Amino acid sequence: MKICMIGVGYVGLVSGACFADLGNTVYCVDKDKEKIDMLNKGKIPIYEPGLNEIVNKNYLSKRLKFTTDLATAIKSSDIIFICVGTPTSKKNKSANLQYVFKAANDIARHINKFKIIVTKSTVPISTGDKIEKIIFKKRKKRLFEVVSNPEFLREGEAIRDFRFPDRIVVGSNNKKVTRKLESLYDPLIKKGAVFFVTNRRGAEMIKYASNAFLATKISYINEIANLCEKTGVNIEDISIAMGLDKRIGSRFLRAGPAYGGSCFPKDTKAITVTGDLFKTDLSIIKSVIKSNTERKILLIKRIEKILSNNIKNKKIAILGVTFKPNTDDMRESSSLLIIPFLERKGAIVNYYDPSGKKKEFSKLSKVFFCKDIYETCKNSDLIIIHTEWDEFKTIDFKKLSKNRKFKIYDMRNLYSPKKMKKMGFSYYSVGR
């Protein structure tokens, strides 16, 4: 099939490359010429394991094309995916849809024959109706069909999530169109993915409801972890035993710092705005947002307690600053609050992240990027493991310590408290 992806951000690039890998011809279009030039030179603008290989392989086989020429890409394609960003609106915490509507107007201008127009961007319930109206102003209804097909890709594991999805959700009442999408996804359906069809608003809702539920699950276990800390119970036991109940499930029950990233914080806010708009109080999701915001403060208070409220001139090492491993994404990461706080309190902060130095900390005069774990932790009073990158799972703390006394705050529960205690370390973790 011939496909056009509008927007070569995270979702557009990963999905476009993976669709090409399934044998389709894919035009990835973006107005950002610099980004398109970069991709045409074989450089990938985002950090995503495995993406480089798939992009290069399919680019060389000419199935994957990068262009700024929207008109040609639209005219040449049967299916057009809208993959532009929907950031939080400054006005009302809902999703800012200006890029989605611009894409709809652009599509309307260039439609030459029947097109399936698919929203992959996360868009509030009823956005598909609005896109349809925009295009209908310029084109006859028989020339297009607007469909919702939300993505469920996790950063850092996006290729795997694309290739082995639990489900593929399509929102459309048009049988011919859903059959076409079913054949596009056929290689994944054959491997076991469930192809689930509902109406357009239903598909839009599934995406938000899923993200808000996962955010709820994390906040829930984080609050139980707080109680574990006060009662001497081990949160790991609670997560394991709860997860063994098939009605609950074990995934997304890991206690840690506040959830971050570009999706959960944005989407939980946006769905509560939609709730308000439709006069439905989504009080659970609202309290999840509150709980997650408060969690960041809680982490800071814990650090203060670990250092007996004496942060000034302390050397603090932070391992991992991204919101999760295998990504360079800093959006809504707890580290964005923790590191400036420590600096304000007079600490000297060394940090290391396998995805590199972060511009977010470049203006902080006592915050330094180090090249590896050992340089970061040298002479530290406190080592904080903030993100669970693989290389932080096997640190030789004995080698690090050189008989110097330091404390460890493991926000991801990577180490066993028993073993750490046995080795003589002052070790603190989450909910145990």
Single residue of 154, 163, 302, 357 touching ligand UGA by CB under 6 A: 154
CA dihedral 252, 258, 261, 262 (to 10 degrees): 100
The single-letter code of the amino acid at 143 is L
Residue 83 appears among annotated catalytic residues: no
Q: Are 349 and 339 in contact (CB under 8 A)?
A: yes
DSSP code for 20: H
Single residue of 208, 323, 361, 427 touching ligand UGA by CB under 6 A: 323
- Interacting positions 212-241 with ligand UGA (CB under 6 A): 214, 218
Give the tokens for residue 376: 């970061």
| Nearest-angstrom CA–CA distance, 376 and 136 | 58
Single residue of 324, 345, 358, 407 touching ligand UGA by CB under 6 A: 324
| Nearest-angstrom CA–CA distance, 298 and 226 | 9
Region from 65-73, 84-92, 102-110, 150-158 binding ligand UGA, contact rule CB under 6 A: 150-158
| Nearest-angstrom CA–CA distance, 101 and 220 | 36
Cβ nearer to ligand UGA, comparing 77 with 292: 292
Ramachandran category for residue 42: left, alpha or beta (phi over 0 → left; psi -120 to 50 → alpha): left
Region from 18-26, 55-63, 145-153, 348-356 binding ligand UGA, contact rule CB under 6 A: 145-153
Q: How far is the CB of 152 from ligand UGA (least distance, A)?
A: 4
What mask of x and - would describe binding to ligand UGA in positions 247 to 286, judged by CB under 6 A? -----xxx-x--xxx-xx----------------------
Q: Are 403 and 206 in contact (CB under 8 A)?
A: no
| Marked catalytic residue, from 4, 18, 228, 263 | 263
As to burial, measured by CB atoms within 10 angstroms (0-12 exposed, 13-18 middle, 19+ buried), residue 257 is buried
Instruction: Please tell me whether residue 291 adopts helix, strand or coil conformation.
Output: helix
Does residue 155 belong to the site contacting ligand UGA (CB under 6 A)?
Answer: yes
Does residue 410 belong to the site contacting ligand UGA (CB under 6 A)?
Answer: no
Does residue 330 belong to the site contacting ligand UGA (CB under 6 A)?
Answer: no
Cβ nearer to ligand UGA, comparing 115 with 266: 266
Residues that bind ligand UGA (CB under 6 A): 122, 151-155, 211, 214, 218, 252-254, 256, 259-261, 263-264, 323-324
Known catalytic residues are 263
